[in-house]
Amino acid sequence: MKMSRRDLLKASGTTAGMALVPQLSTAQNTPSKNTFRLSLNLSTIMGQNLGFIKELEVASQAGFRSVEIWMPTLEKYLASGGTIADAKKRIADLGLTIENAIGFAQWIVDDNTTRTKGLEQLKREMGLLAELGCKRTAAPPMGATAEPGLNLKAAAERYRTILELGVQMNVIPQLEMWGHSKNLHRVADVLFVAAESGHAKARLLLDVFHIYKGGSSHESLHLVGENSIDIFHINDYVTSIKPDQIKDADRIYAGDGEAPIDKIVHALKPSAQPVVLSLELFNKQLYAQDPLVVAKTGLEKMKAVVKRVNARYKV
When mean pLDDT is compared across 149-163, 184-198, 269-283, the lowest value belongs to 269-283
Q: What is the pLDDT of residues 196-236, one digit of tens each?
A: 999 999 999 999 999 999 999 999 998 987 789 999 999 99
pLDDT computed for residue 6 by the predictor: 55
Distance CA 272, CA 281 (A): 28
Residue 23 pLDDT > 90, yes or no?
no
Residue 165 pLDDT > 90, yes or no?
yes
Residue 24 pLDDT > 80, yes or no?
no
Residue 22 pLDDT > 70, yes or no?
no
Neighbouring CB atoms inside 10 A of 153's CB total: 12
pLDDT computed for residue 315 by the predictor: 55
> Are the beta carbons of 210 and 177 closer than 8 angstroms?
yes
pLDDT mean over 259-264:
96
> Are the beta carbons of 164 and 199 closer than 8 angstroms?
yes
The angle formed by the CA atoms of residues 119, 115 and 100, to the nearest 5 degrees, is 45
Average pLDDT, the chain: 91
Q: What is the pLDDT of residues 71-93, one digit of tens each?
A: 999 999 999 999 999 999 999 99
Residue 100, SS3?
strand
What's the pTM?
Answer: 0.89
